[in-house]
Amino acid sequence: MSHAEKRPQISPRAALMFQSGIGVVGLLAIVLFGIPVQLDGMSYGVAVFWGVGGSLATYAVIMMLTRLPGLFRESLESHLEQLHRFACDYSWPVLVTLSALAGVGEELLFRGAIQSWLAQYVPAVVAIVAASVLFGLVHYLSFTYFIVATGLGLVLGTAYMLTDSLLLVMVWHGVYDMIALYCLRRFPQWFGVRIG
């Protein structure tokens, strides 16, 4: 099977609509259930600054973890190859838009709606863990990928709890996705992805 035949057949429009739909579901849940969302923990400039800084630091940590022999690399290689093909399927404007929509939409749903709703009834730590596990399950490709995604959810959930800024975690998530897709597409060899 050639590289082109392995690519997913999801149109850019369908991918963008799906990612937008996640945000709509999160926003509807927030509005319909009157979930208190923290937006004003810091100014927009500070939230963007720390969101970008957090995404760079998180990506650096994950890159270091994938370099440790036997820890993640072997179990992640096939998934990284799939993600490389995904990144190559779409133009840069589509990838940037998908990343931005993921940052906004997934954070509206998982941190804004689910974590904030749970935090009204259970301790904040329980709300963070529960929302993070759900986040990991939605991104499930394998147990290892679930662990990585849940870990990212824990980081984002904690940042949201500590800063009271949904904007910060939206920027953090969106920029992280942009960096990950750019590096996977431009430098696949960093991840052990064999092309050709």
- What sign has the CA pseudo-torsion 142, 3, 93, 29? negative
Per domain, the residue ranges of the chain are 38-191
The DSSP annotation for 69-110 comes to TTTTHHHHHHHHHHHHHHHHHS-HHHHHHHHHHHHHHHHIII
Nearest residue to 130 via CA among 157, 93, 103: 157
Q: Burial-class residue 112 by CB neighbours within 10 Å (0-12, 13-18, 19+).
A: buried
For the stretch 63-109, pLDDT in tens is: 887 777 766 655 677 778 888 888 999 999 999 999 999 999 999 99
For the stretch 115-169, pLDDT in tens is: 999 999 999 999 999 999 999 999 988 888 899 899 999 999 999 999 999 999 9
39: left (phi > 0), else alpha (psi -120 to 50), else beta?
alpha
- Residue 3 pLDDT > 70: no
Q: What is the pTM of this model?
A: 0.91
